[in-house]
Chain A
Amino acid sequence: MTAVSRRDFLKSSALSGASLVIAFHVPRRAEALLLASAPKHPLPAPNAFLRIAADNSVTVQLAHSEMGQGIWTTLPMLLAEELECDWASIRVETAPAAPAYFHTGFGMQMTGGSSTTWSEFDRYRTVGAMAREMLLRAAADRWKVDVKHLRVEKGFVVNGQERLSFGALAEAAQALTPPTAVTLKPPSQWTLIGKPVRRLDTPEKVTGRAQFGSDVHFPGLRTAVVARAPVFGAKVKSFDATKARAVPGVETVVQVPSGVAVVASNFWAARLGRDALDVQWDLGPGQDVDTVQLLESFRALATKPGAVALKKGDCDAALTKSKQRLVAEYDVPYLAHAAMEPLNCTVRLEKDRCDIFVGTQFQTGDQTTAAKLTGLPPDKVNIHTTFLGGGFGRRANPTSDFVSEAVSVAKASGVPVKVQWTREDDTQGGYYRPMFLHRVEVGVDAKGFPSAWKHTVVGQSLLAGTPFEAMVKNGIDESSVEGVTDSPYLQALGAKLVTLHSPRNPVPVLWWRSVGNTHTAFAMESMLDELAHAARVDPLAYRVQLLKGQPRHLAVLQLAAEKAGWGKAPPPGTARGLALHASFGSIVAQVAEVSVDEEKHIHVRRVVCAVDCGLAVNPLSLEAQIQSSISFGLGPTLHSALSIKQGRVQESNFADYVVLRLDEMPKVEVHVVPSKAKMGGIGEPATAPINAAVANAVFALTGQRLRSLPLKLV
């Protein structure tokens, strides 16, 4: 079933505060018709995604979360392209958690994997087209003319000199049977898709009106701050809350599975109360985690083959026969997502319903978790998605940690409560991009090109121990080796072996913008650069040679190189480095221009980025996402790392978990390859190659090959 009932729809509208009088709505009986007529690909129910009110406003329901990536604008563009409404009449709401809003590819309601635009490209356009057809038919009935004499124009149906607004037709249109098939406009007729369109959420976001999870407020709401385990996996042994209860404003202190929650009338009181708690912990094995030792253990593991992710030919024999062998190890540390809005979740639990107000990327996962915890059926758990103050993967947790904890606090305290994490809580709370080590051994021929590629990856699986564990097949979590096993450089190579070790430890891990590509791109593109230099071949020419038969990759690489002035002298004191990486269905090449100061600090001056992502639906938004991805990737390139000693995360806030600031932001130039290829994503792919592009530029400038992130010159 892919539709929300009218009652549910109206209910959700009421919850979101809309004053709906007359809605454009497809009656329920039409669903059967839709399903019967097109059993394989039923048309979506337009009422779940759109309503047109008498005032002509067109309200679009978003099946995905807005976390900065711009889908608040892109999805309405798709719908409006077909509906032909006035762009100024668009209003946007986030949909409730319901099956109607499941991801078209992934079967659950979620936002991630750089997938929103491509996965909704057909659905939102189709909804717009269905509504347009029904409005046209309503107008034809009104005027008693053949629908073929009518056309739509900017929110009106036009018949010669006469016109009727969508709002005036909405009520009549909703009584009609929806079309069973619609024809979508050919690209030549698009007026919105492919054009730069400014964001629709700007007015709220430049005035402070935008509601994030942490801004949720209603009468009776309390704030809680939780004392969580000092090492991962620790359990509360006992606690003394005497001092905490004495803090003015503190109302109650409750134990929950993750720790001890102090519930107060406001955040500051809860925070002071939490800091005054005396908690004794049963630390468990988490206290032994030490990232220095862990890396050494990874190094030892990497000399032995792991589970086979890719095997072709006899790699060891080919290595033995090769003219020369190069071996290199690359490592990357644990990383926190550090979204600007520290984690939070608000829960109002009543006898027969639970309302959760949260910036989440995983609506239906969170709903299921909350249903289990409360004993309520999932449809009694209402997820109200707010704006997300950044997501980057942290707000898409299969274990719903920040949601389940808030439900537990609400349950234990008996009051509606917002659990607000401090920055320190957020930094030290786990669910990190895992530490990874790659050992890459390459045999080369007489010209210095690969004849054998042996690659061992070591790092925690993101999926192990989660509800998605079944996706790990034969010991291979694809997210650990993506970017290596499918490398365009290795396609034609006859001898290759990629293996994976996924050692477990108590540190919780999670996807982090661009996921496995964050480390595989660093290893692959650094190694290619090393090979090029060893072969005394220009790094661009070396890659071009290996990319024969990969025309899309080649075009992207050459566009970036050309726009960067590759082969021409860089500005004095700078050097250039190159990297290419494909992920999430898109191909990205970057040329970084770097300099180094007297204190050996690396400065990234300019990044030229070329991309082939198929159709660029909103070029203005695409450019923003590329700038964003590069900025996000440069933090770990230059600064960010988490270290753990005796199980304790050493970094806690932006003073020691250093991210990119404005004065370090390079000039980013974005070039899009016009492409008819299948649409890919754009939120993540440009994060992956930046580490290597910078490391390769640093080598070109200084002769130092840096194989650990963050890059530190000696």
Chain B
Amino acid sequence: MKLVVNDKEVDVSAQADMPLLWVLRDLLGLTGTKYGCGIAQCGSCTVHLDGQPVRSCVTPIASVGARKVTTIEGLSADGTHPVQRAWTEVDVVQCGYCQSGQIMAAAALLAKTANPTDADIDEALAGNICRCGTYQRIREAVHRAAALRASR
């Protein structure tokens, strides 16, 4: 099966119903995308398919097709995507396990809504659980990322 992951074409041998999450983690070694619940409840496994945020834990590999997969490893070459810079400035992360998913969800939000309100952020990110409770700084960092994008 051919996939385009982080702008590279890869060939994987997997059952059609194997979730994209486990293809990324166990077959391709891209462990930045995390397993948290397996039922699309926590958002830790969020990746982009053609720029849209999806839960890779419930995305069968056969359904991906020609859509481009972007993971946290492919969001930027050097960690300088505005969301990553904002996360750094605001000192968002704690344990860090959910943050790949939070960052991918935030990046997708900003691509669609350049200057999101708190309500927009709540709606876009309520599906991403953080047990460390970094939520307040996530809100702040999304606003900061919006400003960084605008000044780019």
Contact = CB atoms under 8 A, between A and B. Distances in A.
Interface of A: 66-70, 198-199, 201-212, 214-215, 217, 223, 248, 265-268, 338-342, 387-392, 420, 422-423, 620, 624, 627-632, 653-655, 659-663, 665, 667-668
Contact of A248 (B15, B36, B125, B131): B15
B98 to A, nearest CB: 5
B91 A199 contact: yes
Contacts of A206: 79, 84, 87-88, 93, 99, 103
A624 B91 contact: yes
Nearest to A212: B97
B131 A340 contact: yes
Chain B: number of interface residues, binned into ranges: 35 or more
Contacts of A660: 133, 135
A611 to B, nearest CB: 16
B72 interface: yes
A69 B96 CA distance: 11
Contact of A202 (B93, B100, B138): B93
A653 B41 contact: yes
B39 A267 contact: no
A248 B18 CA distance: 11
Nearest to A635: B131
Contacts of B111: none
A167 B138 CA distance: 39
B51 interface: no
10 contacts: A198-B88, A266-B22, A387-B96, A390-B132, A628-B94, A653-B41, A659-B129, A661-B135, A663-B122, A667-B136
Contact of A201 (B32, B37, B96, B126): B96
Chief secondary structure at chain A's binding surface? loop
A653 B96 CA distance: 20
B26 interface: yes
A628 B38 CA distance: 24
A340 B95 contact: yes
A624 B137 contact: yes
B70 to A, nearest CB: 12
B134 interface: yes
Interface string B19-53: 10010011101111111111101101000000000
Most buried by B among A198, A211, A423, A620: A423
B38 A207 contact: no
A298 B10 CA distance: 59
Contacts of A265: 26
B94 A662 contact: no
A423 B27 contact: no
Interface of B: 15, 18-19, 22, 25-27, 29-39, 41-42, 44, 71-73, 75, 79, 84, 87-88, 91-100, 103, 121-123, 125-139
A631 B129 contact: no
Contacts of A387: 95-97
B106 to A, nearest CB: 11
B96 A620 contact: no
A590 B72 CA distance: 37
B126 A203 contact: no
Contacts of B122: 662-663
B13 to A, nearest CB: 10
A620 B72 contact: no
> What 9 pairs across the A-B complex have the smallest Cβ distances?
A208-B32, A631-B133, A389-B97, A68-B95, A205-B96, A68-B94, A208-B72, A665-B135, A266-B26
Contacts of A665: 133, 135-136, 139
Nearest to B122: A663
Given A392-B131, A628-B134, A341 B32 contact: no
A68 B42 contact: no
A203 B76 CA distance: 12
B131 A662 contact: no
Contact of A207 (B15, B35, B73): B73
Contacts of B87: 202, 206
A628 to B, nearest CB: 4
A90 B123 CA distance: 39
Contacts of B98: 340, 389
Given A68-B132, A203-B88, A390 B95 contact: yes
Contacts of A388: 95
A653 B136 contact: no
Contacts of B71: 208
B39 to A, nearest CB: 6
Given A199-B93, A207-B32, A207-B79, A423 B37 contact: yes
Contacts of A201: 93, 96
B132 to A, nearest CB: 4
A526 to B, nearest CB: 23
A390 B97 contact: yes
A214 B25 CA distance: 10
Contacts of A423: 36-39, 42
A391 B96 CA distance: 12
B41 A210 contact: no
Could you say which of B35, B71, B84, B125 has the most chain A C-beta atoms within 10 Å of its C-beta?
Answer: B35
